[in-house]
Structure 1
Amino acid sequence: MSGTWRRWLLVGVVGLMGLAGCRTTGTAVREDKPGRQEIEFDAVTVTADLELEKLNDEELFAGGTSAFAAGDFKQAARYFGRLVDFHPQSPHRRPSLYNAGLAHQRLKEWEDAYHRFVELADAEKGQDDALDAAFRVAETQYHLERFEEAAALLAKVAAREDIPAGRRMEAQVQQGICELEAGRSEQAEATLRKVLTTYEGLSDKDEVDDYFPAQAHFFIGEIYRLHYEAVKLDPKRGGDKLAEDLNYKAELLLSAQGHYLRSIRVGNGYWATAAGAQIGAMYENLYDHMVNSPAPPELNAEEAQVYRQELRKKIRVLLTKSINIYERTLEAAERIGSQNTFVDRTRESLRKVKELLLADADNESDATPPPQPTSEPHS
């Protein structure tokens, strides 16, 4: 379930700081064969970045800040990293730790970002940058696929009563997402439902960002979508079993759709377009399953033909529903000015589904026999 729709700021890191100067401590020459010499050097010692070695902490901080503002995150990580590693008493060290982590995140060097943030983070008691760094540590662990570690850290933040409800809700949503990625879907659903219970119980819902309840609904929808995808339609198991599986699959689709629609109703633009795209994709997916499914083996030729005719009617309904959802999603995205990967994906899916519906109509007209003339004149 990877995804482009998750609420993680995709920021990263470049690991190696500029190669430092080096020195040799001596050489030894050994005769090998006549006419040849093999020269062995002592181990090279990396001491520092020669360009930055002459700068003090004020100059390093200014250089890192300037580079970050210019979008040169490699240079920013280099300057801030130098300050952190070589000026432990500097008053700029804490902000440099955080900024170095941010620069590494922008470059998607998650391990380096983790090592910067973890020194600063305090999930149980931290405030301000220490609390923000705890969220960042969880984010880097997520990208490093250390889902259980990230979930455990976020649970500590979510349990705190000394931070605003919005921050607790943010931690709990992200905890649920990490639990889902770790394969614990039941626990993930329970965690996400707690978020929604908290949200519904707020007397003033404006005190929290609508991003997080919308995200919670979306990922509960994702849980049911994953259950839906796990149900396989196999006609070889017989018509009765196929009908049972198809009904169960449709129930899971409707459950997922219900949570996606609740996500849309919360009113957050990003998750509204993401949820609309997922609903349309599920109808499109069910269409693919049904159109590519052979008739149950116990049906004779005539029964198989009737089966396919009935299936075509249901397929046409699915395609029409998918088109309707996609069009409404794009209208909403245009209305709020949303532009993201879900909008692009929805636009392409809409084009494809319309082509499928047209092809289905053409196939039906080709398969319909022409009307036969009657011997009696029409009145």
Structure 2
Amino acid sequence: MLATWRKWVLVGVLGLVGCRTTGTAVRETPETPRQQVQFDPVTVTADLELASLNDEELFAGGTSAFAANDFARAARYFGRLVDFHPQSKHRHEALYNAGLAHERLEQWEEANLRFSELADAEKGTGDTLDAAFRLAETQYHLERFADAARVLGTIAGRADLPVGKRLEAQVQQGVCELETGQSEKAEKTLRQALSTYESLADKDEVEDYFPAQAHFFIGEIYRQHYDQVKLDPAKGSDALANDLNYKAELLLSAQGNYLRAIRVGNGHWATAAGSQIGSMYENLYEHLVNSPAPTELDAEEAAIYREEVRKKVRILLTKSINIYERTLEAAERIGSQNTFVNKTRQSLEKMKALLLADTESAPVPQDEPAPSKPHS
């Protein structure tokens, strides 16, 4: 990794340049005069394979390696050019490409180092603006969410940029704010981005990825609120009923925003939103199934309570199965393949198995005669 490599180069230079030492075979005694051996300065260049290449050769080698998806080799070539040929006409492009190569390798610190030298969020255009977006991306993966939000907020506030770039930055800013735990601030940022999008006469100015992402993460905000509501039977039946109703309201609010993400029509976020809706119904099902009856109920009342819960559970199972199936149908129609698709398939099978088990274990209604035994 480049950051580690640079650290050891520094240690090597400090340890070797101008080093003074006494010979190991010479002992300092009153009878033997002290002797000093001084070495010539040594510069450690680390990558000897590339040491003889000039900047043109390094740039060509890095470009070829990147095209072949050999990102480790590309990072070496571009990094060598950047570090040892500061006057090269290719340095600017090599700096950006080195960052991209490290990014492909998920070497976020190294990518951050390269992009930070090139990025200009306040005035940049072309590669320097793209590098600012990429810098925020690396900060996000390094969980430096506040830093990423600041970079993106700067870009979003630039009146000189096309609306598509500003809206992209604002949506990503909202995501980073949510990661810092500032849900109210994040929701405000995301809704401002959506307001800008809805006001556009020509919505093709903005890629559908970003408004869909904004709707999805507003849904995530309400899902987080939903998760914070705990169903505690020990609080009593009235409090439990109120908490359950509030939790259901938050589920519907989250679902509404997820559905808006689906309607935008971006395949990635449509699949993700459908998966999250299904998982919320699945989660509520698990809460109801695993929650004991309120303690103040007697045996008869508890039996009635459990039967009512059972009815609600079947509804939740059926809803989640329906949503998961529709999500997978949409994913197959648009050819979407991502982690949400795999998660949805697994959840669908789980919900079908639970519904089947619930059906098989359902008691026979008392007004129905039990099946007669066959004659022997």
Q: TM-score, normalised by structure 2?
A: 0.89
Aligned to 1:107: 105
Question: Is contact 2:222-2:253 (8 Å) kept?
Answer: yes
Aligned to 1:35: none
C-alpha displacement of 1:108 = 1.2
Cα distance change on mapping 1:181 and 1:30 into 2, 3 Å = farther
* Percent of paired sites with the same residue: 70
Aligned to 1:329: 327
Query: Which amino acid letter does the alignment assign opposite residue 311 of structure 2?
Result: K
Whether 1:122 and 2:120 are equivalent positions in the alignment is: yes
Task: Describe the SS at the equivalent of 2:294.
Answer: coil
Query: Which amino acid letter does the alignment assign opposite residue 171 of structure 2?
Result: V
C-alpha displacement of 1:109 = 1.2
Aligned to 2:176: 178
Give the count of matched residue pairs.
354
C-alpha displacement of 1:44 = 8.8
Q: Which stretch shows the higher mean deviation, 242-251 or 72-81?
A: 72-81
Query: Which amino acid letter does the alignment assign opposite residue 96 of structure 1?
Result: A
CA RMSD of aligned residues (A): 2.5
Partner Cα distance (1:215, 1:278) in 2: 13
Question: Is contact 1:77-1:103 (8 Å) kept?
Answer: yes
Q: Which has the higher contact order (CA 8 A, sep 6+)?
A: 1
Query: Which amino acid letter does the alignment assign opposite residue 173 of structure 1?
Result: V
Partner Cα distance (1:271, 1:183) in 2: 22
C-alpha displacement of 1:15 = 4.4
Whether 1:134 and 2:132 are equivalent positions in the alignment is: yes
Partner Cα distance (2:66, 2:113) in 1: 19
Q: How does 1:158-307 map to 2 (within 5 A)?
A: 158-307=156-305
C-alpha displacement of 1:276 = 0.2
Cα distance change on mapping 1:114 and 1:367 into 2, 3 Å = farther
Question: Is contact 1:98-1:133 (8 Å) kept?
Answer: yes
Partner Cα distance (1:352, 1:221) in 2: 24
C-alpha displacement of 1:226 = 0.3
Cα distance change on mapping 1:309 and 1:99 into 2, 3 Å = same
Q: Which stretch shows the higher mean deviation, 136-145 or 359-368?
A: 359-368
Residue number among 297, 309, 313 corresponding to 1:311 in the alignment: 309
Query: Which amino acid letter does the alignment assign opposite residue 28 of structure 1?
Result: G
Question: Is contact 2:95-2:118 (8 Å) kept?
Answer: yes
Q: TM-score, normalised by structure 1?
A: 0.88
**Structure 2, unaligned stretches of length 5 or more?**
28-38, 372-376
Partner Cα distance (2:45, 2:263) in 1: 58
C-alpha displacement of 1:191 = 0.1
Partner Cα distance (2:162, 2:142) in 1: 28
Question: Is contact 2:136-2:148 (8 Å) kept?
Answer: yes
Aligned to 2:57: 59
Task: Describe the SS at the equivalent of 2:23.
Answer: strand
**Structure 1, unaligned stretches of length 5 or more?**
1-12, 33-41, 374-379
Aligned to 2:85: 87
Question: Is contact 1:199-1:213 (8 Å) kept?
Answer: yes
Q: Deviations over 1:218-250 (max 9, x none)?
A: 000000000000000000010000000000000
Aligned to 2:34: none
